[in-house]
Amino acid sequence: MAAVADATAPVATTRGRVGRPVVVAAILVVWLLLFAVFRGRGTLTLAAADLTGLHRWLNDVNDSIGANRNSNPLFLYFFNEIRLAIDNLVTFVQSLISQPTGARPVPQIGWLGVVGLVGYVSWAVGNWRVALLAAAGFTFFGLQGLWQESMDTLALTLSAVLVALLIGIPLGVWAGLSDRFNRIMTPFLDFMQTMPTFVYLAPLTLIFLIGGASAVITTVIYAAPPAIRITAHAIRSVPRTTVEAADSLGTTRTQQLVKVLLPMSKRTVVMGVNQTIMAALAMVTIAALIDAPGLGKTVVQALQSLDVGTAFNAGLAIVVMAIVLDRVTTAAAARTETRRSGDGRFTRWRRPLLGAGAVAALVLVYLSHTYVWTAEFPGDGTVGGHIASAADTATGWLQDHVSGLTNALRDALTNGLLNPFQTLLTDSPWWLVGAVLVGLGAVLGGRWAAVTAAVCVGLLVGTGLWSDSMTTLASTAVATVLVMLLGAVVGVWMGRSALADRLIRPTLDAAQVMPPFVYLVPFLALFGATRFTAIVAAVVYAAPVAVKIIADGVRNVPEATVEAATSAGCNTWQIITKVQLPMARSALTLATNQGLIYVLSMVVVGGLVGAGALGYDVVAGFSQGELYGKGLAAGLAIVLLGVMFDRITQAAARRTRA
């Protein structure tokens, strides 16, 4: 019985105080009462075509920068030079694999050479299975009729990853060696990873204009933090005894770094490269909104015209590229750990075979450089046409036969949950909603979370987009609730069942490598261009990370505690609700934090398919010059929502662990 008492102690302690749930409930009740009194007053509504003084000032700033870009010293000798350097890098990579240069009608390396190089590199850093997957995946791009678009995407991704690693790995090593520098970098990295991908685009186009160079610069800023963080973690994870042993032998700091720290952290650093590549690919596709070439541009144009077939075909190519890049880098990390070739009895022949493979790859490169039939992908992309046609046919069938069910589901969630909550947020006075957010911040996260919420609320009012921010907040909150419900059900199942974990986790891992755009396509076919489409896509996009965090939290509950509860006669439901979930509170809070950030990013991307609000404002700012300032302010509003959510949930997680 003592063991059972220990197991349920956290629950008893929580029930013994006037807990935060009671205070939260009281805040919500007061909100509802005041809403009934003040409904419709002080809502700060702004029409879609209206601009505030801030928006006009931002438009003037944009015009002024454009007029003085080639005369202002800061632009002339700094920003323009950065843009020129990146533009030259992108142009060089594109000339190699995707775009014709000069009088040459094809790239320097044609499709056969690219496939040969990709296959060889995949084999050299991974194994022959990954090489076959990579060669097949790249050949598939040509069969889809999307060879040039795919190579443009690859060129931008490679350019961004190269720059991100050149910056990120040295900074990561520095952060791993210096506690002071690590403390300085951590807040910046937190902020950079909190911001949704959409937000990077608007301010950077103000400085670097639209196009491939801006896309790469944006992607570098987004993709560098994982490289910095993971490299620093890898350096810090090297056993202290190993470092001390090297130090006792009289090695210098440089020798320790080169001979001990970096070799022993190589696998983790390679996994950081993997995360950087995945982040870069996701950002490059979204950067199509600022006229970046590639598959993302095809998807954006198809989504804007509601062409599901074309969007599905291009989205499938993005998925294939993500899977190939992920598998290659994952295999490279595994090889650095095992130091085995994976070829069994052919291990001793690996070097000669790699040499022969290099010669074969160079021959294919030469042929693709010399002959048109190896430079231009043969055929007219009929496979892609068939895929698009099949997607359109499936969409038509679903709309004819399943629309009753999908429309009922959409209407039930929209009318039963989303619309009432959105009305509560948008029809309440701004000061009332602001007071509620500050109060919730204080209760859930403490004093500093409340201060952060107050600052963010004030700045949201200042953007002139309060009503649109509340609409986005409503969609984000509803989607996050659905994510946590799904995460709790599947996460508990995985945490309690090793078999379920083995079956489900690979699917979750695969889902996390797909860029956000891809999730919109199937739900556009099911639900049409509505807010609900964006919400469902956000749930599917955010659920994998929440599920895995909750599963790990449930699994980490001590087995002895579960056995004690079982021996006391608790059934499965009681064990889950009274023992495992309460003891995994910190994991639940962390899952909520990550789910919010992922959902916010996806709900904004959903502005392309009818989500409206801040997402629409950002997209309109890119496409309509007179709305640029409003789009920039919308980007700031998204940042403020993200920072507020992140600070409150992270503070709540720390208080839960304490």
User: Does pLDDT of 202 surpass 60?
Assistant: yes
Q: How far apart are CA 403 and CA 408, in angstroms?
A: 8
Which of the listed ranges 196-200, 234-238, 568-572, 622-626 does the model predict with the highest average pLDDT?
568-572
Q: What is the three-class DSSP state of 41?
A: coil
Most confidently modeled range among 235-239, 346-350, 609-613: 235-239
pLDDT at 6 over 60: no
- Number of alpha helices (DSSP H) and beta strands (DSSP E) in the chain: 35, 0
Please determine, for residue 266, whether its predicted confidence score (pLDDT) is greater than 60. Answer: yes
Residues 6+ apart with CB under 8 A from 544: 508, 509, 511, 512
Q: Is the pLDDT of residue 605 over 80?
A: no
Given this model, what pLDDT does residue 628 score? 86
Please say whether the dihedral angle defined by the alpha carbons of residues 451, 453, 458 and 459, taken in this order, is positive or negative: positive
Residue 342 in this model has a pLDDT that exceeds 80: no
Checking if the pLDDT of 166 tops 90, the result is yes
More confident residue, 135 or 628: 135
**pLDDT beyond 90 at 75:** no
List CB contacts of 607: < 8 A, sequence separation 6 or more: 534, 613, 614, 615, 616, 617, 618, 619
Per-residue pLDDT, 336:
64
Statement: residue 193 has pLDDT above 80: no
Mean local confidence (pLDDT), 365-380: 87
Q: Are 172 and 229 in contact (CB under 8 A)?
A: yes
Question: CB under 8 Å to 482, separation ≥6 — which residues?
Answer: 535, 539
The pLDDT score that the predictor gives to residue 198 is 66
Contact of 369 with 113, CB cutoff 8 Å: yes
What pLDDT is attached to residue 408?
Answer: 87
459-479 average pLDDT score: 91
Residue 346's pLDDT band, with cuts at 50, 70 and 90, is very low
Per-residue pLDDT at 255 exceeds 50: yes
Residue 13 has pLDDT above 70, yes or no: no
Lowest-confidence segment of 178-192, 362-376, 418-432, 605-619 by average pLDDT: 605-619
Residue 278 has pLDDT above 80, yes or no: yes
Q: What is the mean pLDDT of residues 427-433?
A: 94
- Of the two residues 46 and 31, the one the predictor is more confident about is 31
- Look at residue 258 in the predicted model and tell me its pLDDT: 77
Least confident segment among 397-401, 452-456, 626-630: 397-401
Name the phi and psi angles at 17, rounded to 5. -110, 165
The answer, yes or no, to whether residue 279 has pLDDT greater than 80, is: yes
- Sort residue 138 into left (φ over 0), alpha (ψ -120 to 50) or beta: alpha
Q: Taking residues 574-580, what's their average pLDDT?
A: 87
**Per-residue pLDDT reduced to its tens digit, 111-127:** 999 999 999 999 988 88
Q: Higher model confidence: residue 188 or residue 427?
A: 427
pLDDT at 556: 85
pLDDT of the residue at 332: 82
Confidence of residue 206 (pLDDT cuts 50, 70, 90): confident
Q: What percent of the chain has pLDDT over 70?
A: 92
Question: Coil, helix or strand for 107?
Answer: coil
For residue 173 the two structure tokens come to 């090593």
Average confidence (pLDDT) over 623-648: 84
Selected residue with higher pLDDT from 504 and 17: 504
For the chain, the average pLDDT equals 84
Name the phi and psi angles at 557, rounded to 5: -65, 130
Of the chain, the percentage scoring pLDDT greater than 90 comes to 24
- Is a pLDDT exceeding 70 seen at residue 337? no
